[in-house]
Structure 1
């Protein structure tokens, strides 16, 4: 049996292993009436979304990256019947199923399925009609709500160094997503004996999400204080990281506007090379950065507001000059349009080699002019979920740089 480890000490080191979730029937359980609650603005066409996602996975494989799938890892975990029963009980509780009869019927329904079928069903959601129940007209049709945001594997848990943050999600509809990570790292035969450290508790009342967690180097993290991540959660994570045996010495808190268009730090800022970053220019107007370091003697965090431009702060932190590549070339209209379609949400598969959405052609041309090799993927349907290539991927192993 292979024993897997986590090793992520940068945003740009050559990617070796990545976690994805291939979109499933949860997207077909989106309807206009429930879009807002399920955090979508539109309904992707599943057939095309899967074709786009398969091409996304293909780019990884063509570049020598091992692709793992969330649903397959989880199906392996629940092949043990005791673990499956424990998982179902916990999942039903977290789904708010407290009626004894309903809980019993749901449990029997799920327990009767094959492993992968059960995982797919839980992710897709269970309707009243699936169990022969009838609801009144206009009543919410789901006993278990669908989980359409799962193809954004970056958010629910995120790898840092040799460990993982099991995140506490801001929106209630996404909180169940983190249970998959908990079970994979606790029970999967390839992970459970790997001594993978858990740096954040998914049950914390303080919210933090993986799209706000960036690893600039093996000494520096950048974390967004955003619509989805509490400042206090960042301090808690910082304490856990600083008190571990990880080499990280500094955390930069990026205070970004608290609104949906700038949902996470990685929707407005990503690293694409040793000295290059993409950025949505609008955040530069209000961006404030706070530096956290640790006083080992007094076991306390030192917080200091940084002054100067983003370029100067990053240059000082990394020890060399940096270049900011502004989404849409800084043009207000182009930047606004392309950022809405995740023009700043790039994923580096090695230094200077990135995956982007093809629709953000102005930003892609700028990346090319800055000697960044771009794999521009089709994105008519995946982009409807408001997340780009970085959002849709969770690196497990990167080569150190």
Structure 2
């Protein structure tokens, strides 16, 4: 079946006579129209109740971009086209457009390679891709959450995760405790000094950071001096007091945690981490992609924006490793969804020490795109299936 959009009138219609068709959370009727010539055509799948499934990809405005749309436009384009190819009406929208008098969003045109603003039904489900943490703390975002609740719109992943709050939540689970490096909130200098003296080598990470930005290591040497390393430079301090006095303002302002440094297993002289992608499916959290990132230019982090490179997971995988990653993913999904709200998709950065033990470094509720094409293909498939499952739980996928 097809639906059509008429630009001058900003109206949707369908071409099946004697059929009623509805779309989105408000169950808006899409009327029949006999003459649809020269109107934009969208093939759709008919779901129970003569419904069109409508997915909204939530982001924010960015005046610096030609389209005016913020966030990862490549991901939005790939996802919206994939969903459209499977008969799902998908569009990108912003808080401003939803809270205006009528809903407008952006649909990608592969013919013109542009994002076109059109009038749209309210979404059944919202894929939260707000790119900045600060906006999720704003009054506008809270107003948006109230709107979703009032209109019974499913919110897919409520917000970014705070690293320290994540650590606290996961430590409550006995099966995951051994996979978590000792971590403290960096607020009390005396506690930090004791923590460093006990572990000798620690990481300092922003609680609300990502992609390896703002990460440091701190090493206490046998003579009591401290070596402070960033991704690009190194500083030496005669003692902890000198270090704290020089850095306390920046560390407190951004909000940091301190974490025991895991002695990593290395390949070809470089540390590596596992990156696993996880999706909810029929009551379980399933690993849907596995990658490896290896450091190159520095040994603090393996993130590719910080100089890391891809390494084939197949060269490291074993059945026990696959099983351990699957167990970690399942427990993380259950615990974090219970604590912070439903997570339908997330990724986990997992390190391996010299003994083969696995350690959770970070859980990302808004995973970046993976460079591995097969992982991204799996992601699109599982997102599509999950959008259907959450909106039409009794629908049998074909």
- Say which one has the larger Rg: 2
Between structures 1 and 2, the one with greater helix share? 1
Report the TM-score, using the length of structure 2 for normalisation: 0.26
Report the TM-score, using the length of structure 1 for normalisation: 0.26
Greater relative contact order, per chain length (Cα 8 Å cut-off, separation 6+): 1
Between structures 1 and 2, the one with greater strand share? 2
